[in-house]
Chains A and B, each alone.
Chain A
């Protein structure tokens, strides 16, 4: 083995280099999904999603329209038809992380079960059919959505907090010579590795548990997720059945079966065939075969691909559940009575279209400069889980910021020009006079009026003579809202000095959503 690597640079190393580079690219783009002093993000930070054929298929089926943002995924489809599942072996950052996990803690004995292989096809069928019928679930199974969302909502804030508290400790309690050094390291980290601000998210623990679950499955089989569950892997596997680049076992094989043992995708069966639907071209076998009997070559697939082996009963069951479930959305209470505090980001298209198109990737929540966008729990119904909503008490929508529309890979949040965004009404504020201080306590305040960002303020005040709790008559400025000017950015609710529930609250404005589902071409 070592002799061989002296002669040529094994292809397997190229695969590892590619994996490393794409993972780094993924992480760098993740970090760059932030405000960097410019109103426009100059990098295509959502490029991984735009290359993802599953996201493209599901979003377009749901929108029943061509989404030009997602046409990049045709590249991946084209390459897969030629090369096979290279995407899973060479490109996918989740696959790379799973491989890394195996390197760190290798699995001793696989408890393999071939019947599980078909789950991914069933899942794929279910996702695509239900997407077409208006039941959006792709975001819960797409590998990039899972990864970016998990990192945004849990890993990144955790990392930031841990590193931050370590340096904080040194700063507060360390001797001054040490804290001087640690502070300069910290400021370097802040400029490079860390998020600008510590962020806080709902569902951060749930997101982490989902990620952990995917990695925990590696204790059963290597690449359990990729082999059995990943619907994107399923889609690419279907395409790979027709791919041209294929592995072959030549006659020089003496039947040692090393390849079957080492194949992480279990693509090489005992009879010596390499299944192109499963092989992710990691090229371990090429490298490790003692007889050098494995080769990869372009060849037109001669025989008809092997059947998927999905039983009729399971197939029909999947189809019918995909047909039936969307109907349940029509009869749930949220349809009749939407949550009034569910405020979507500016540029969000109308609610039912929005849920269809949103792939729950978390990019908007990552980029939101004030940590204002938060994942939904059940506010938008069960199928709205992890979709973004504005929570003014945590953060408000910055008047001059358009970042969420810029990073959304599917156009669920339209990319609005600044002028248009500043007029997009995502909600309306109203005063709770039982809490608002000038009304309830006769205390001067009007912090909300001060912060209201519309050039002509939507919050105004009038002076009133009121009796304060001490029984004295005082002249107080009492705020009120001019509905026609309010855009629902939530800064008033955010800055209200009352603790707990604010004295001014924002409720959503369904009319403010971008109406047309194909408006964002």
Chain B
């Protein structure tokens, strides 16, 4: 090694050491960038098996639920309708997710929603309360929401609303699993994963509708589900969101799962032969950076 080589080496090492910390800091994001949003889809008539299957490409329930955690499974229990009518999440899907979370060692699994019709009727006729209770596990609780537990939250990233009340139990969950049902919605076009957040907010929800798509996206900046499973076992094509006529229901026997709520919604939109950008909330959430809506950039995996 001569002097020239020695000095050169010294300079390079020093430069390397000096530059490395910021470079290292960049690395995770550089690595993350090219990773595509994965949307797992599956089809079949055995709904409990279907739930386990659709989680397969995402690594099962284990990456989401850790031992001793408090888990919230948030279905759509919005209406006093039966499971066949397709207005609420299918009880078997909800029940299986709760069971999987319990099996993964969750300390508590809460299931709740803020219905539009009378809540006792919705919980009963959706079949969800009975399904969760049939597990016979004291850690699994299908509960009515408690008006005292809505707390005001500042929505810093909101473009259309900046303050709203959210349900404390939902905000404090270690793992929040979003289980909407895919259905038609007059005002919003479709009701999917992003729209399901309406069930954990307080206040007079009618006012959200003054700029529905943007406000749904704004609300979703506060509470980001760790996992979204969209129930498309049967989808409501018309007269949503509450339907009531079996003629409007199409049986698809499919489930969609993703950690990216926007990607899940974008894919689910295609089931209705629509484009993701036609749904205002998907578009708005994408612009807020909540996830990917470009179907070309989403990796769809058939489980």
B124 contacts A by Cβ under 8 Å: yes
Chain A residues closer than 8 Å to B186, beta-carbon distance: 446, 449-450, 457, 461, 477
Is B187 touching A400 in the complex (CB atoms < 8 A)? no
**How many residues of B are counted as interface, with CB atoms below 8 angstroms from the partner's CB atoms?**
26
Taken together as a complex, chains A and B put the C-alpha atoms of A289 and B248 apart, in Å, by 78
Please indicate the chain A residues that have their CB under 8 angstroms from the CB of B248 in the complex: 455
The CA-CA distance from A352 to B295 in the complex, in Å, is 64
Residues in A neighbouring B287, C-beta threshold 8 A: none
Q: Which of A350-405 contact B (CB under 8 A)?
A: 369-370, 398-401
- Partner of B187 from the list A369, A443, A447 (CB cut-off 8 Å) is A447
B127 contacts A by Cβ under 8 Å:
no
Complex Cα distance A461/B211, Å?
Answer: 17
Quick check: is A171 within 8 A (CB to CB) of the other chain?
yes
**B211–A398 touching, CB < 8 Å:** no
Contact string against B for A residues 72-116, beta-carbon threshold 8 Å, 1 for contact and 0 otherwise: 000000000000000000000000000000000000000000000
* Distance to closest chain A CB from B163 (angstroms): 17
| A479 to B, closest residue via Cβ | B186
Q: Is A37 an interface residue (CB 8 A)?
A: yes
**How many residues on chain A are close to B (CB under 8 Å)?**
31
CB < 8 Å neighbour of B242 from A35, A370, A443, A453: A453
Report B's interface with A, CB cutoff 8 A.
Answer: 80, 116-118, 120-121, 124-125, 148, 185-187, 204, 206-207, 209-212, 239, 241-245, 248
Q: Which residues of A contact B243 (CB under 8 A)?
A: 455
Nearest-neighbour CB distance to chain A for B50, whole angstroms, equals 28
With A445-B209, A447-B187, A497-B209 known as contacts, the answer to whether A196 contacts B120 (CB < 8 A) is yes
Q: Give bound CA distance, A286 to B48, whole Å.
A: 71
Q: Closest CB-CB distance, B153 to chain A, in whole Å?
A: 18
Contact yes or no, A35 B118, CB < 8 A: yes
* A495 contact set on B, CB distance < 8 A: 116, 206
CB-based contact A450/B244 at 8 Å: no
A457 x B239 contact (CB < 8 A): yes
Question: Smallest distance from the beta carbon of B216 to chain A beta carbons, Å?
Answer: 13
Knowing A35-B118, A370-B118, A401-B121 touch, does A446 contact B148 (C-beta < 8 A)? no
Chain A's nearest CB lies how many Å from the CB of B213?
Answer: 9
Residues 416-447 of A, flagged 1 when their CB comes within 8 A of B and 0 if not, give 00000000000000000000010000011111
A444-B148 in contact (CB<8A): no
Taking CB atoms, residues of chain A closer than 8 Å to B118 are 35, 369-370, 398, 401
Candidate in A172, A398, A450, A495 with the most chain B CB atoms within 10 angstroms: A450
Q: How far is the CA of A437 from the CA of B185 in the complex (A)?
A: 19
Answer whether A398 and B187 are a contact pair too, CB < 8 Å, given A172-B148, A497-B206. Answer: no
B205 to chain A, nearest CB (A): 8
A172-B148, A446-B187, A453-B244 known; A369 vs B121 contact (CB < 8 Å): yes
Given B125, B211, B241, which contacts A444 in the complex, CB threshold below 8 Å?
A: B211
Interface centre among B148, B204, B210 (most CB of A within 10 A): B210
A124 to chain B, nearest CB (A): 41
